[in-house]
Amino acid sequence: MSRIDNWVGTRAEGEKADIPTRPELPIDAVKEAIVNAVCHRDYTSNASVQIMLFRNRLEIWNPGTLPYGLTVHKLHGPHKSLPANPLLADPMYWNGYIEKVGTGTEDIINKCREYGLKSPEFYQEEDFRVVIWRAIEGQDVPKAIQSVPNNDPKAIQSVPSNEARLLELITENPSVSRAELAKRLDLSERQIRKIIDQLRNNGKLKREGGKIGKWIIIEE
């Protein structure tokens, strides 16, 4: 959590040095997402829980899948608790890390909305992913966020694609290698090559300088 504080900083509520500040992200929501990732991850997997900060969002990746019968749509409302690791879930509950079994995702949503941010999103692919949106600099933070219907697929499917995430990583480091991209995106190098080939064919990306060169994103 201290690293996240350093990454995102605070947003001042005034112009003087002695005025109170507030974290850019709702800390309780971030803590809840991290606790859920550690508690419900698949411990038969060699992958790690990953926390990645992008310009417009914080992503928390959890190796594993939702229990049978539970979908990303149901996470937006009341749902049964089916902990993958009850030996972790029980002590976390009794020690106060989990307020009430089965309410974690609802708490994350409510805390982000109360903070004036876009509703967080959940995504299930090979891994489970939580996306907490940041306030974009230069834009007004909405004072109220309308509730998202549980059956609205756009609310779930709007998580950035692998192509978009790859381009963001290249923007941050144009010299990044395919191996590093595969590691950061938790994909195989074969999948990375396929995405890069598609971007090249679409005229969105090119490479200069060979192995020691850099990627260049072609703006439309």
- Give residue-wise pLDDT tens across range 134-146: 886 544 443 333 3
What is the CATH T-level fold of the domain 163-217, as seen in this structure?
Arc Repressor Mutant, subunit A (1.10.10)
Domain ranges of the chain: 2-157, 163-217
Q: Determine contact, residues 125/161, Cβ cutoff 8 Å.
A: no
Residue whose token pair is 């509730």 = 147
Taking residues 159-172, what's their average pLDDT? 79
Is residue 132's pLDDT more than 90? yes
Give the pLDDT confidence score for residue 39 in this predicted structure: 85
3-state secondary structure of 89: helix
Q: Determine contact, residues 173/179, Cβ cutoff 8 Å.
A: no
Tell me the pTM.
0.54
pLDDT tens digits, residue range 44-55? 888 889 998 888
In this structure, whether the domain defined by 2-157 belongs to CATH 3.40.50.10680 is answered with no
Instruction: Find the farthest-apart pair of alpha carbons in the chain and give their distance in angstroms, rounded.
Output: 56
Give the pLDDT confidence score for residue 18 in this predicted structure: 54
Pinpoint the alpha helices (H) of the chain: 2-8, 27-40, 86-94, 104-114, 154-157, 162-172, 178-185, 189-201
> What angle in degrees, to the nearest 10, is found between the helix axes of 189-201 and 178-185?
110
